[in-house]
Each structure stands twice: as C-alpha cells, then as structure tokens.
Amino acid sequence: MADVAERAGVSTSTVSRTLRGLSTVSPEVRARVEKAARELNFAVSRQAASLVTGRTGTVAVLVPTLNLWFMGSALSSLAPLLRSAGMQLSVYEIPDLAERTAFFEHLPARRNADALLVFSFDLTDEETERLDDLGMPVIYVSQHVDGRPSIYVDDVAGALQGTRHLLNLGHRRIAFVPTVGASGFSFSCNERLLGYQKALTEAGIPLEDDLVVSARVGDKRSAAEALGRLLSLREPPTAIFAEQDEVAVALIWNLRRNRVPVPERISVLGFDDQPLADWFDLSTVAQSPSDMGREAGELALKLIADSEEEHSRHVVLPTHVIPRATTAPATRGHEDGEPADRASTA
C-alpha cells in the first residue's frame, strides 16, 4: 500500500479509502490510485485487513445440496451482489449426516465469515442454537425461523392461490402430491400442503387423506406409484397439484404414457416455475429464487455494516399463478365429483 501511495503521490490512508470504495476520495485521486495499483499488481490482503477491521470480507452459505435449480438460481444473483460490495462468497455443502455432524461440531464458518446464509435447511433446535453462538448475523433463506432474520416466499398463500385456480376451473376432486426425499425442503412442503387444505376448506370441500399422496423428486417410478394410487380411487381426482414442478412433469409423463389426456381428463399444476415448466408448458405457481438470493445478500450486507440493525426482520416475497396448457376446466360430470369413465383410468 505504501508503494501504491508513493507512485500515486498520495498518503497510504488515501489509498486505503480509495480501495475500500469510500466516497470521500475525489474522482481524479481515485483514478490515480487505481492506475498505480494496476501498474504494481497490487491486491488487498483480506487477512491483513481483517486484523484491522475485525471482518473477513466473506459471506458464507450453508446448503444441503447444490444439485437443485433453486440453489443455482439463488446463488447466481447473490454472488455478483456480494462482489459488487467487495465481498467474497464461501459455500458449505453438507449433503449427508457425517458432514453435517462435522460442520456443527467445528463450525468452520466461525472467524472465516462475517455472516452466514442458511438455505432451505431443516435444522434441529440444538443446531439452530449452535448457529446463534457464531457471533455473526445468521440469515435463514427459503424458510421462516422465529426471532431470526428470514427471507422466504409465502408458500401457504402460493398453494392457496394455486388450489383456487383449480377450483375456479370447476374442479372439486383435487389431489395434492407432496415430495419426499427433497433434502432440506420440509418447511416449504408443509406450508404448501397447508395452503392446499385451506383453499379446499374455504370452498366447503371436505379434506380427504386419500387425495394426498407423496412422490420422490426425479423418480418416474415413484410418480407412477403415486398416480396409480390416485387413479385407483373410487372417485379419482380431476386435477392434481404437485408440490414441485419436477414432480408435476413426472406425473404428466406417466399420465400421457397411459393415454390419460392432460388437461382434458386430468389437469396438472406445479409449483416453482422452473425453466422446465416453460418447456413443458406447465401451469404452475411461480416464485423467484434469484430475487430471494438478492434480498438475502442485501440484508446480510446491512447486518454486517450495522450491528444495531433489526436482527429479527422477515422479508416475505410474493408468488403468482401462471396458467399454461396443463390446466383446463373440469369436464362435464366431473365437477360434482362423479366417478370418472372407467376406461380412462385403466
């Protein structure tokens, strides 16, 4: 830094202010300092800076897996936001029990980050308390945690809107297919089931356990088994609301394989609006993980910069229904829950 200051003809404190992006440096001086830094291949030492500021210049992210559309979309908006603020992103992926145990035993994010973002992670009370002891802002993303900063969509409202969409099309036998085996997402699953049930109740339609059948994400056989259970009912559904788009697409694939027309015989609705929803022309309830990642990054920067900032803030993002080609009005005779044509369910 002293070398840069000498070449630019300024003090080392001016170099420091310039490289930290402070507005107290004039454009002319900033240009001289940046030119000198480039000529000398100067790079800020984060380790040295942390000794002075007590900060690492890093935001850590804890995720159960990176192999999901949601994670990729959220991180793709979070990373450039942090870079523009001069921060780095560090990711901790802990997909299995052994790595999870090691993470919470050693807490590697401690002293290596200024904030931790916890993405869609089902934590025990003990694990949540361990994170409370990190001594840094901990922000929960895609989940609601009482008394702690959280960024999430209103899954109940989204599922309520989606089910109303099907009800408004005249469907009265509506099934719901929640997911199993989706690491870290039970919060959203439970909330979406609640929204589905709430919509049926307000419409005066009794809840039926037989119309709620689980399926595994990315497993055609599991979707086929769930579909077999639904089509074996005395009164099969005329519409299916899948908790995730991937499950909805697997259900449609199996329906068409069995020559059950979609949406003429059965309407199918998903949740998320992943890119594959557009490709399959799937009706769905849309959320924006990129907006969620951006909101999480902005909140992290605020909490890092101001320790007095509200640390229990909740940011709730909206959802909206996107009708496409997989939902249509219920066919005549199915609106009142009459048994379907046996040939169409064979």
CATH of the domain at 10: 1.10.260.40
Residue 93 has what pLDDT?
92
Q: Is 329 part of any domain?
A: yes
Among 315, 317, 319, 301, which residue's Cα sits nearest to residue 80? 301
The larger pLDDT score, comparing residue 22 to residue 214, is at 214
Kindly tell me if the per-residue pLDDT of 312 is higher than 80.
Answer: no
Q: What is the pTM of this model?
A: 0.80
CB 227, CB 249: distance < 8 Å: no
Residue 183 has what pLDDT?
54
Kindly tell me if the per-residue pLDDT of 56 is higher than 90.
Answer: no
Kindly tell me if the per-residue pLDDT of 339 is higher than 50.
Answer: no
At CA 85, angle to CA 83 and CA 91, rounded to 5?
45
C-alpha–C-alpha distance, residues 330 and 172, integer Å: 9
One domain for residues 141 and 161: no
Of the candidate ranges 47-56, 121-130, 247-256, 323-332, the one whose mean pLDDT is the lowest: 47-56
- 79-134 tens-digit pLDDT: 999 999 999 999 999 988 888 899 999 898 888 899 999 998 888 889 999 999 88
One domain for residues 247 and 294: no
Q: Is 49 part of any domain?
A: no
One domain for residues 295 and 281: no
Length of the chain counted residue by residue: 346
Confidence of residue 343 (pLDDT cuts 50, 70, 90): very low
Say which CATH number the domain at 308 has. 3.40.50.2300
283-286 and 320-322 as β-strands: parallel, antiparallel, unpaired? antiparallel
* Residue range of the domain that includes 295: 54-153+289-312
One domain for residues 131 and 272: no
C-alpha–C-alpha distance, residues 194 and 301, integer Å: 33
Confidence of residue 24 (pLDDT cuts 50, 70, 90): confident
Q: Is 217 part of any domain?
A: yes
One domain for residues 163 and 277: yes
Q: Is 190 part of any domain?
A: yes
One domain for residues 202 and 341: yes
Report the pLDDT averaged over residues 30-47.
78
Report the pLDDT averaged over residues 264-291.
96
Report the pLDDT averaged over residues 68-86.
93
Say how far residue 222 (Cα) sits from the centre of its chain: 24
- Domains of the chain: total: 3
One domain for residues 279 and 304: no
Report the pLDDT averaged over residues 212-219.
91
Q: Which residues contact 255 (CB under 8 A, 6 or more apart)?
A: 227, 261, 262, 265, 266, 268
Q: Is 176 part of any domain?
A: yes
One domain for residues 19 and 168: no
Kindly tell me if the per-residue pLDDT of 203 is higher than 80.
Answer: yes
Kindly tell me if the per-residue pLDDT of 322 is higher than 80.
Answer: yes
Most confident by average pLDDT, 50-54, 303-307, 310-314: 303-307
Beta bridge partners of 119: 141
Confidence of residue 55 (pLDDT cuts 50, 70, 90): confident
Please confirm whether the linkage preceding 263 is cis (ω < 30° from 0): yes
One domain for residues 111 and 227: no
Kindly tell me if the per-residue pLDDT of 241 is higher than 70.
Answer: yes
Q: Is 317 part of any domain?
A: no
At 35, the amino acid letter reads: K
Mean pLDDT of the chain: 88
Q: Which residues contact 188 (CB under 8 A, 6 or more apart)?
A: 120, 142, 143, 155, 243
One domain for residues 23 and 61: no
One domain for residues 242 and 329: yes
Kindly tell me if the per-residue pLDDT of 202 is higher than 60.
Answer: yes
Q: Is 270 part of any domain?
A: yes
One domain for residues 341 and 296: no
Report the pLDDT averaged over residues 175-182.
85
Residue 44 has what pLDDT?
60
Residue 184 has what pLDDT?
53
